[in-house]
Amino acid sequence: MNALINKKVKFQDLGTKDYMPSWDYQEELLKQNLDLKIHNREHPDDLKTTENHLLFVEHPHVYTLGKSGHESNLLANENKLKEINATYVKVNRGGDITYHGFGQIVGYPILDLENFYTDIHRYMRDLEEVIIRTIAEYGLKGERSAGETGVWLDVGKPYARKICAMGVKASRWVTIHGFALNVNTDMRYFDYIIPCGIADKQVTSMKRELEQEVDVEAVKRKIKKHFADVFECEIIS
């Protein structure tokens, strides 16, 4: 365990930012923590505190394929991607294919789990809990689906649908990647993939469920509040 426990989480809203620079930034923050862990292992008499971060970002249209995914779940060829102004990236997170785009809140927690608990399964459930509590404030009952990460509506019914996708990677207990909550997302972009490789279930958004545009900034504030509660941390700017 980390000798210097840090339960503060630095928050940044990156605004609208391309996927690759956002990924590079996560990797940079990850490396900083890994370097600190190496330092602490080599210099036990001079321990440094690792840092935790929570990034919010909105990506221009992009499809990302996780390391356990299958390219066959991308239904658009190169010409179609150009036509719909979307890009395609293979990434090092878990999970299959998903879409990021405008009107979606993407959250990247870069946490040193040794500041919290060393349990990836619990971490994923806690991320789901943050979103479940957030959308509950809008009258939406988010649920978990056995064997499938993310947050769903109407689990166990023929019209079960995912409202928030999740996929993470951890190195020496430091996390990157995270969640993507569909708020006012253009759902037509999901027609060009088999979302998360699950062919028999649909995706949805808060806008579609509530039948009205949703204030994205208000949703962000609620996510931050519930993140602080679930992870028992202090979020600082």
Which residue in the block uniquely carries the two structure tokens 């990924």?
23
Please choose, from the candidates 112, 147, 144, 111, the residue with its C-alpha nearest in 3D space to the C-alpha of residue 129. 144
Pairwise CA distance, residues 98 & 232, whole Å = 29
Whether 196 is a known active-site residue: answer: yes
In this structure, what are the phi and psi dihedrals at residue 131, rounded to the nearest 5 degrees? -70, -40
CA angle 141, 145, 151 (to 5 degrees): 50
Which residue in the block uniquely carries the two structure tokens 């602080």?
228
Q: Angle at which helices 120-136 and 216-230 pack, to 10 degrees?
A: 140
Catalytic residue among 57, 97, 174, 196: 196
Q: Residue 27 is encoded by which pair of tokens?
A: 């990797």
Residue 26 contacts residue 34 (beta carbons within 8 Å): no
Which residue in the block uniquely carries the two structure tokens 């479940």?
132
Q: Residue 229 is encoded by which pair of tokens?
A: 């509660």
End-to-end CA distance of the chain: 26
Q: Catalogue the E-assigned strands of the chain.
A: 8-16, 52-58, 62-65, 87-90, 97-100, 104-110, 143-145, 148-153, 161-171, 174-182, 202-203, 234-236
Active site residues: 196
